[in-house]
Amino acid sequence: MSFDDFVRDAKTQDAASKCAESIGLAANELSKLDPALDREFPALQLSLAYRSRNKLSHGYYAIELDIVWATVTVSIAQTVAAARLAKRQYERADGGTS
């Protein structure tokens, strides 16, 4: 889907926004479980994900579609890659028992 298609498709906009909100909520839960994660793995951008979630959830009609588009096409893929790396590092540090 192109950005222009995205702009014309309200259903996809809503779905992408809700997915991004869910990721931001999960990021906050991770931060609660281990507050050091954001500091130890800055590429996860947990705080930014949660702030973005709040903006999406409470922004009402002020949501900027170009930011949602960049989030779902670029930022989420970067976060997934960072999460995989963090998981491998965490498992090595834990002796692979997690």
Q: Which pLDDT tens digit goes with each residue over 9-30?
A: 999 999 999 999 999 999 999 9
Residues in the chain: 98
pTM, two decimal places: 0.79
Burial zone of 49 (CB within 10 Å; 0-12 exposed, 13-18 middle, 19+ buried):
buried
Query: Where are the chain's structural domains?
Result: 3-92
Given a cut of 90, whether residue 57 has pLDDT beyond it is: no
Q: Give 8's pLDDT tier (boundaries 50, 70, 90).
A: very high
Average pLDDT over residues 42-60: 86
What is the C-alpha separation between 18 and 31, in angstroms, rounded? 20
Tokens, residue 56: 């999406």
